[in-house]
Amino acid sequence: MKKMKRVLSIILVVAMVFSIVGCAKTQTPEEPKVEAIFKPGTYEGEADGFHGKIIAKVTVTETEITDITVEHTETAGLGDKAVEKIVLGVKETDSLNVPMVSGATYSSTGILAAITAALEKAGADIEALKNKEVEGAKAAEDVEKTADVIIVGAGGAGLAAAVTAHQNGASVIVIEKMPQVGGNTIISGSAFNSADPDRQATLEMTDLEKKTVEGIIAAEQTDPIVKEWQATLKTEYEAYLASGKTTLFDSPTLHKLQTYNGGDKQGKPELISTFTDNTLPAIQWLESLGMEFKDSVFTVLGALWNRSHKPVKPLGTGYIETYMNYIEANKNDIEIMVDTTAKSFIVDNGAVTGVNAEFGGAKVTLHANKGVILAAGGFGANVDMREEYNTLWPSLKNVKTTNQSGATGDGTVMAEEIGASLIGMEYIQLLPMGDPVTGSLSGNIEQGVQNRIFVNKDGNRFVDEGARRDVMTQALMKQTDAYMWVIVDQHSYPTGDTKNNFNETIDDLVAAGRAFKGNTLEELAAQIGVDPANLVNSVDTFNKAVDGTVSDEFGRTLFADKIDTAPFYAGARVPTVHHTMGGVEITPSAQVLDKDGNIIKGLYAAGEVTGGIHGTNRLGGNALADIAVFGRIAGESAALAK
């Protein structure tokens, strides 16, 4: 469009030159004057994005948008891609008639609003720009391709599978229905659980933690595999005590038992064993690819133990960038196809041999020489599907979700259509940590379990803040308006530019009204509208439990620092749908099972699309470990299939 405009301008100039040097008496008809739609200049507009203010500076001539520069703090790999795509669309079309970017609605809305505000200052007819007809793109054509391994879904599990399949000699095609890679991984809090002797060596074992381990060893179990775990843990723990060590005890065996017990013993022991035995190797593999984790570990919400690893890069960007760096370096063998929606599996003599998909209305037929990996994620963003399977919670119709909009269970439906077994579909995880407006984890001010408490609208604590996620959410739902405040102090935010787990500084959150700051607890109470005496009492009794003066009234065992150093901070949270534990049933080799327990040849699965690992409740920090472990297993299994 713009090239055509420039060509026309050159033609007009040439025509004018010839009219001047030609016969002066000869008059040529004047070209029709193009009506001005902007007042030339550079204008600034501002609007709210997902993570804060978006500022757009728009430069225009009388008829054209020539430049747009943007300042923002949107999520790397997701929100920033939406900003880039919409800016490009506005510049190319000289209009506001550009589509939202799927999965990044808030960022899309924010950048369009900021550009609109700038163009209003330029005197533009905004409605005309919104309704301007734009020339359509060239229609997509049907395509047919073949690779050794076809992967459905470009989130953390799918990309881990792609890298591993290639490392095992396979060519790979990955399809993703969204316009960008990353899935839920890229917007996650990034915690990755694993026993890790080196990083845990700086932590001291508390008496309460010792009691926790002893209780797990002594608990009654019926499954023979789990009994073997207990016997192994007993041996490991006795050796630890005999060594005289005082640092934190941990092992894959303890991780197994906490995962199993934390899911009400509904997870499949053989899957849990494969999972926890491979978490540390998965971290080491990621590090071999260039990913960096911090040297210390912490306890993420609902993790139950101090084994959560945190990447150096914010959110889940480190995982996705690591995978994509490898894929870019091997792009001749690994192809990523975005905006490509899987529709059905190709089945030949009972074996899955490919995928039927669509791109822009055209057919995409993909053939797999060795295998197909399903890594399409869960169904947390599909309200109807949640309602269909939910039997454990009140209606979830009006509950927001932390998930990106593409988590709609398409892959689960595809698998069921060819006879795959589904397991644990009723197990839907809610968190007590949703943003009251968006339902996302963004804005959460907690840095870890040990240094914060929850209070309700009266200023009173109501639950063990180190408990399972479902236990905390159930307790929150019983509070007024199912609404709570997270309370922390300077131990969590030594300076105003200290960032939370979602790359947001506490000063920015306070400035945006998403968090509140007080130099005293009474001052903080006044700002958030809770009874100051109740808040002071809640903090005081918590602090006594920290130093062991009293036992915690809710049975909490995970502590670090007292909440006793100003400034004090508060952030509001509500229940939100976070994870779907149910899905396609798999073997420890990530092969998909049918309803009769037989392996469906050629089909593998990994990540949240699978079920049977986490039982009724997933431990915090186990998801990213799960998708890396089983993504790797699926990639290797498919690549080496015969």
pLDDT at 303: 97
pLDDT at 546: 95
Which position has the token pair 């200290």?
A: 498
C-alpha span between 72 and 32 (Å, rounded): 41
- Helix/strand/coil (H/E/C) assignment for every residue in 245-298: CCECCCCHHHHHHHHHHHCCCCCCHHHHHHHHHCHHHHHHHHHHCCCCEEEEEE
Q: Which stretch of DSSP H or E encloses residue 571?
A: strand 568-580
Contact 60, 43 (CB under 8 A): yes
461, 469, 514, 573: the active-site residue: 469
DSSP string, 204-241: BPPHHHHHHHHHHHHS----HHHHHHHHHHHHHHHHHH
pLDDT at 137: 55
Nearest CA-CA partner of 128 in 205, 40, 2, 35: 35
3-class secondary structure, 106: helix
Q: Report which DSSP code applies to 95.
A: S
pLDDT at 10: 30
Query: For the purposes of burial, counting CB atoms within 10 Å of the CB of 622, is it exposed (0-12), middle (13-18) or buried (19 or more)?
Result: buried
Query: For the purposes of burial, counting CB atoms within 10 Å of the CB of 220, is it exposed (0-12), middle (13-18) or buried (19 or more)?
Result: exposed
Predicted TM-score (pTM) of the model is 0.85
Q: Which domains does the chain show, CATH number per domain? A: 37-131 (3.90.1010.20), 146-427+581-639 (3.50.50.60), 430-576 (3.90.700.10)
pLDDT at 110: 81
CA dihedral 324→329→334→336, nearest 10 degrees, is 40
State which amino acid sits at residue 50.
F
Query: For the purposes of burial, counting CB atoms within 10 Å of the CB of 518, is it exposed (0-12), middle (13-18) or buried (19 or more)?
Result: buried
469: annotated active-site residue: yes
Q: Average pLDDT by consecutive 10-residue portion of the chain (642 residues)? A: 35 32 42 74 85 86 92 76 88 85 73 90 88 73 97 98 98 94 93 98 96 98 98 98 97 98 98 98 98 96 97 93 96 95 97 97 97 98 97 95 94 98 98 95 94 98 96 97 98 96 93 97 98 98 94 95 98 98 98 98 98 98 98 98 92
pLDDT at 32: 55
Q: Which residues contact 121 (CB under 8 A, 6 or more apart)?
A: 43, 44, 45
Contact 340, 366 (CB under 8 A): no
